[in-house]
Structure 1
Amino acid sequence: MIRARSLGRQARRKAVSGSGELAGPAAVPPAPDRAALREAALAHLARFGTTRQGLEQVLLRRVARWRAQAQAAGADGAGEQAQALAVVCAEIAQDMVRLGAVDDAAFAHARARRLVRTGRSSRAIEVHLAARGVAAPIRAQVMLGDEAESPPDEAVRGQEYGESDYGRGLSAAERELCAGLVLARKRRFGPFGSPAQEGPDTEGAVESESAEDWAAGEWDEDVPPKGPAARRTMRGGRRADARGVHRALGVLARAGFARDTAARVLEMTREEADEWLERLKAES
């Protein structure tokens, strides 16, 4: 039995060419050269939008996969060769920028428009863009949209910004309000909540707190409500409504929305909210 297993292992190791001799160690895969990496970059750009840093990371992952395979095959110097290829990856990414195939500003504007339509706050959008390698001056311009003037940093003046259509017709604050309304519609609170979730004192509580109590408070939906509006809500037997308001505030706060924006979202009527969302839809 043991001998049969040994013979079986030897048979599996034999080359399939018919020579009958044992195969040697696994062949070392060829390292990707500049041409191969350039083709990989073009193939990626044909399918996805990305930034210069994002494209460089795609190419570096390809080199890292080759290095792991080469080291597993026992190749010497794979690490040093991978380091040399990392420089090539950076050069190819920069070439794509010069050719116009990669445009960080265009990517940032398009991604920001999409994220607003999904209910992301400006704070969340800026974090998202920073994680993808968009420079701070470009992020600042994206957040301002049509309110932005020339690029605020000399280091990015060489990039072609073009005329932004990111927020045409809406100010930055209005876009933020629309994003908050999108989130409210998704989570079904505020103007999009069911009538059973709201009480007669809820709108007044939100309006009063936004003006009187929110400036020094903390964003925490688990903290019991305070202030005259909250006491009035409690006395009116609206504890469930107050908890619902604070839960909604917590959702908006965790998403990155400021208190004044959250207050406007929660105190808005359904008709007003629908009008704002129609304006956002018309610009998209």
Structure 2
Amino acid sequence: MDEKNSIARNTAAKDRKSAGGKQSGPKPVTPERLGKIALHYLERYASSAENLRRVLMRRVLRSAQLHGTDSQALADSVDDLIQRYQSSGLLDDTAYALGRSASLHRQGKSTRAIQQTLSVKGVDGDTVGVALEALREEVGPDLDLRAAVQYARRRRLGPWRRDGREEAREKDLAALGRQGFGYDIARHVIGAETPQQLEDELDTSVEEPQN
């Protein structure tokens, strides 16, 4: 009986809260609120200008649907915010591309995968090219080989396998292919006799003078 009374009280409390409490869901978007949303997002994530624009426009369109706010006026506010942040340096697509490409490379991503990721975030091709060239100057010209070795090491593919290596060869090649690596690089990495062979090759490429 006590359990039934407790359930009834909880249900009644929820009903009262629903009837007299605050409405749930996002608040109407205003220009001031857009600025707060943008700064909060940039505090948590690195972003390109276009990516931030998309984030804010999703909020604008949702507010228009739920609250009837003026989506065109708010879109103009988004444009103003983006321009202001670019002028102040808070948004910098080149810096974003440099940092993101370096991070993706350390994760073992191919140059193709890096290009696709940055493109999806709205970074233009010229800026992506600048970022990849800077990465080559930093780590060496063999970006894909170095990234493929990193990926194979993390996933224990090819020479990092303890057993069943020959049986898994095609599977390992396909794994590198799905990451955007060309067949020649995939075959070279998976076919290496030992991990040390690949490590020595990468060390040698770093020691060679760059023109």
**Counterparts of 2:84 and 2:203, CA distance in 1:** 41
Q: Are 1:181 and 1:277, in contact at CA under 8 Å, matched by a contact in 2?
A: no
Whether the 8 Å contact between 1:113 and 1:166 is mirrored in structure 2 is no
- Percent identity between matched residues is 29
The TM-score with structure 1 as length reference comes to 0.58
Residues 222-265 of structure 1 deviation map (CA, whole Å, 9 limit, x = unaligned)? xxxxxxxxxxxxxxxxxxx2x42222211111211012211221
Who is 2:54 aligned against? 57
Distance in structure 2 (CA, Å) of the matches to 1:130 and 1:63: 23
1:105-152 Cα offsets, whole Å, 9 max, x none, are: 11111111111111111111111000000001111222232xxxxxxx
Partner AA of 2:164 in structure 1: Q
Task: Give the 3-state SS of the residue equivalent to 1:101 in structure 2.
Answer: coil
Q: Which amino acid aligns with 1:33?
A: T
Contact 1:60/1:89 (<8 A) preserved: yes
* Equivalent residue runs for 1:135-284 within 5 Å: 135-145=124-134, 167-171=137-141, 174-194=142-162, 196-198=163-165, 241=166, 243-268=167-192, 269-275=194-200
Q: CA RMSD in A?
A: 3.1
The counterpart of 1:106, out of the listed 95, 98, 103, is 95
C-alpha change, 1:55 and 1:176, in structure 2 (3 Å) is: same
- Kindly indicate whether residue 106 of structure 2 is the aligned counterpart of residue 121 of structure 1: no
Letter in 1 for 2:74: L
Q: Which amino acid aligns with 1:135?
A: D
Provide the TM-score with structure 2 as the length reference: 0.76
SS in 1 for 2:108: coil
Inter-CA distance 68–175: structure 2 relative to 1 (3 Å threshold): same
The one-letter code of the counterpart of 2:31 is R
Moved more, 112-121 or 259-268: 259-268
When residues 109 and 166 of structure 1 are mapped into structure 2, their CA distance, relative to the original with a 3 A threshold, is: farther
Structure 2 CA distance, aligned partners of 1:278 and 1:40?
A: 46
2:121 corresponds to which residue?
132
Whether 1:69 and 2:66 are equivalent positions in the alignment is: yes
Residue 33 (1) aligns with residue 30 (2): yes
Runs (5+) with no aligned partner, structure 2:
1-11, 205-211
**Equivalent pairs, count:** 190
Partner amino acid for 1:125?
I
Higher helix share: 2
